[in-house]
Structure 1
Amino acid sequence: MRGTRPFGRAADWARLLRVSATASVPGDALAGAAASGHRPNRGTLLAAGASLCLYEAGMALNDYSDREIDAVERPGRPLPSGRIAPAAALTASVVLTAAGLRLAAAAGRPALLTATALAGTVWAYDLRLKHTAFGPAGMAAARALDLVLGAAATAGNARGAGAGRCAGTVASSAGLLGAHTFAVTAVSRHETLGAPTTVPLAALGATTAVACATGRTGRIPAVFAAAYAAAAARPLAHAALNPSPQLLQRAVGGGIRATIPLQAALAARAARPGSAAALLALLPLARRLSRKVSPT
Structure 2
Amino acid sequence: MAGGVRSGTDGDGDSGALEETDRDTGGRAIAGAYAELVRLPNLFTAPPDVLLGAALVAAAGHEPLPVTVAGLAASSVLLYAAGTTLNDAFDAPVDARERPERPIPSGRVSRPTAFGLGFALLVLAVGIAFAVAGGPAAVAAGLVAVAIVAYDGLLKGTAAGFLAMGTTRGLNVVLGTTAAGGVVLGAPVRLLAVPAVVTGYIAAVTFIAARETEGGNRGAVAVAALGAGAAALAVGWVLVAVGPAALETVAAIAFAAAFCWWVGRPLRAAYADPVPSTVGPAVGACVLGLVLLDAAFAAVVGIQWGIAAAVFLVPAVGLARVFDVT
**TM, length-normalised to structure 2:** 0.83
Partner of 1:92: 117
Partner of 1:184: 205
Moved more, 52-61 or 282-291: 282-291
SS of structure 1 residue aligned to 2:159: coil
Is 2:310 aligned against 1:275? no
**Unaligned stretches of 5+ residues in structure 1:** none
Kept after mapping to 1: 8 A contact 2:222/2:271: yes
1:208-219 to 2 correspondence within 5 Å?
208-216=229-237, 217=239, 218-219=249-250
Paired with 1:247 and 1:240, the residues of 2 have a C-alpha distance of 9
**Unaligned stretches of 5+ residues in structure 2:** 1-25, 240-248
% identity of equivalent residues: 33
Partner of 1:226: 257
Is 2:35 aligned against 1:10? no
Paired with 1:242 and 1:39, the residues of 2 have a C-alpha distance of 48
Paired with 1:181 and 1:167, the residues of 2 have a C-alpha distance of 23
1:118-197 to 2 correspondence within 5 Å?
118-152=144-178, 154-156=179-181, 166=187, 168-197=189-218
Paired with 2:121 and 2:189, the residues of 1 have a C-alpha distance of 31
Count of matched residue positions in the alignment of Structure 1 and Structure 2: 285
Paired with 2:157 and 2:260, the residues of 1 have a C-alpha distance of 28
Partner of 1:20: 41
- For the aligned residues, what is the CA RMSD? 2.0
1:221-260 to 2 correspondence within 5 Å?
221-260=252-291
Instruction: Note closer, same or farther for the CA distance 1:63–1:293 as it changes in structure 2 (3 Å cut).
Output: same
Paired with 1:199 and 1:85, the residues of 2 have a C-alpha distance of 32
Structure label with greater radius of gyration:
2
Instruction: Note closer, same or farther for the CA distance 1:174–1:157 as it changes in structure 2 (3 Å cut).
Output: closer
Letter of the 1:33 partner, please give it: A
Partner of 2:245: none
SS of structure 1 residue aligned to 2:215: coil
Moved more, 128-137 or 35-44: 35-44
Paired with 1:212 and 1:182, the residues of 2 have a C-alpha distance of 17
Paired with 2:91 and 2:154, the residues of 1 have a C-alpha distance of 11
Shift of 1:282: 2.3
Q: 2:317 aligns with which of 284, 287, 293?
A: 287
Letter of the 2:214 partner, please give it: L
Shift of 1:169: 4.5
Partner of 2:126: 101
Letter of the 2:156 partner, please give it: K
Moved more, 208-217 or 10-19: 208-217
Paired with 1:286 and 1:194, the residues of 2 have a C-alpha distance of 27
1:56-88 CA-partner distances (Å, limit 9, x unpaired):
011110000000000000111110111111111
SS of structure 2 residue aligned to 1:131: coil
SS of structure 2 residue aligned to 1:128: helix
**TM, length-normalised to structure 1:** 0.91
